[in-house]
Amino acid sequence: MEKLLNEISTCCQPAYDISCDINIEINIPSNLQRCSSLHFPNITESDLLRHFTNLSRNNYALSTTFYPLGSCTMKHNPLISEQVARHYRFNQIHPYQDELTIQGNLEIMYKLEQDLCAISGMDYFTLQPAAGAHGELTGLLIIAKYFETIKQKRTTVIIPDSAHGTNPSSAMLAGFNVITLDSTHDGQINIDKLKQLLNENVAAIMLTVPNTLGVFEKNILTITELAHNNGTIMYYDGANLNAIVGIIKPGDLGFDIMHINLHKTFAAPHGGGGPGSGPVGVKKFLEPFLPIPRIINNKTHFVFNYEKHQSIGKIKAFFGNFPVILKSYVYIKLLGAEGLINSTKQAVLNANYMLAKLRDNIDVPGGHKCLHEFVLSLKSILKNGVKTVDVAKRLLDYGYYAPTIYFPLIVEESIMMEPTETESKQTLDKFIEIFKIIIFKEMLDESDKIKCAPHTTIVRRLDEVIAARNPVLRW
Ligand SMILES: *Cc1c(COP(=O)(O)O)cnc(C)c1O
């Protein structure tokens, strides 16, 4: 890693090299200069340290607890990525610097695009979108522009009812109408219904594979063929890519365009709404529409190319969330091809281990095997007025972050667990034991305790409607 850091960082020249010149003279116009001196509170270092440490203790974090939040892939993020992202040669770069002084940054972005192509089977990537949902919007704008260019009027996008809520929102925002496709009872795409819905109006089908039940779509090749015969574009929501990295590629399955959540699959910390990165990959025929600028390698150096007249334009200020891009690049290089495949296998093994320990007494709509995550339906075991939300809140009392609940919408009283590959068998065993105590013991003997949970957290049970409508965002 030291070698990698040396290699990449020597090509990045911060506007000011703070290692050799800490007395930088900066000429700020006098009208922009402060008139009075700044007043910082006069407190001791230990008081400051305690203030921030205590604040951090009020929060849930992966550094203190297991975080089985299905769909979100809350895995441990290697600290080395943080160290690299904080290196002054990266964090002192300014986006307005001349390209020639940031060749190392451009090279990293260029190489990450190539790595994502190799992993996904796409031909080109842009790193600009700031999150998964933003990637979806970018992808759908590309699809709209493509049909505009070939002069076809296609106005609808088909999305399964198991999809993440951002899929229909992004499609609407990009100007499409959404047609919802009902899933079969085991969460698969209903091929007969799909055939009925396909016509010359359908621009795209958006699929999450494996789907939000953690199950691989059995008929995926039939679906992509049906779409292509209809001139319809296949969009891959890559939020669950961590289940298949190194095993199969969306490009090989027939997908034409996709996004990847770097902050899920490629280990950049996230939570509380950011920071993220949602690169979009396309097959060759969609390349002309990618956002500008494109990074190109003109043999002597890397440059930004703005000369693309069919591009959808810019979709984010500057060039993407660079620190997240950097962390994912380090993660991919650190693990290498073999390490990435091992991560995938371990993630799938961990999820199946948990599922195997829970499935005998609880309904599993997706079946008895899963990929990287699984969904349980607690409906048939809930007793004494307890709801799934109460079970999730009670887990907080035992020091766990609550799993995802009530998603996907097609499963009643659903609870979705994703252990990720970075958790040990001991951690999983302990969690399974506590979960079983709550649902098989406390629910019978102490249901009121569950219904009023949590009891041990800084903030107790919230009225969720009021909390969502009138959030108090400060202490
Ligand atoms: C997380 C997720 C998204 C949205 O990604 P963000 O980065 O949160 O915007 C879309 N689809 C699925 C299936 C997801 O899990």
Q: pLDDT-derived band of residue 20, with 50, 70 and 90 as boundaries?
A: very low
Mean pLDDT score of the chain: 93
Q: pLDDT-derived band of residue 37, with 50, 70 and 90 as boundaries?
A: confident
| Least reliable range by pLDDT among 66-80, 265-279, 390-404 | 265-279
**For 291-305, what is the mean pLDDT?**
95
Strand partners, 295: 304
Query: Which residue has its alpha carbon closest to ligand 1 atom 7?
Result: 132
Assess if CATH 3.90.1150.10 describes domain 339-469.
yes
Residue 275: predicted pLDDT: 87
pLDDT at 30 over 90: no
Q: pLDDT-derived band of residue 273, with 50, 70 and 90 as boundaries?
A: low
pLDDT at 11 over 70: no
Query: Which residue has its alpha carbon closest to ligand 1 atom 2?
Result: 239
The rounded Å distance from CA 15 to ligand 1 centre is 35
Residue 297: predicted pLDDT: 94
The rounded Å distance from CA 233 to ligand 1 centre is 20
- What are the sequence ranges of the domains in the chain? 88-333, 339-469
Pick the CATH number of 88-333 from 3.40.50.11540, 3.30.428.10, 3.40.640.10, 1.20.1730.10: 3.40.640.10
Mutate to test the pocket of ligand 1, among 164, 236, 262, 270 (most ligand atoms within 8 A of CB): 164
**For 253-265, what is the mean pLDDT?**
97
Identical fold between 88-333 and 339-469: no
| Residue labelled with tokens 């019978």 | 444
Ligand 1: residues whose CB is within 6 Å? Answer: 71, 131-133, 164, 166, 208, 212, 237, 239, 261, 276, 278
The rounded Å distance from CA 280 to ligand 1 centre is 13
318-350 tens-digit pLDDT: 999 999 999 999 999 999 999 999 999 999 999
Residue 61: predicted pLDDT: 85
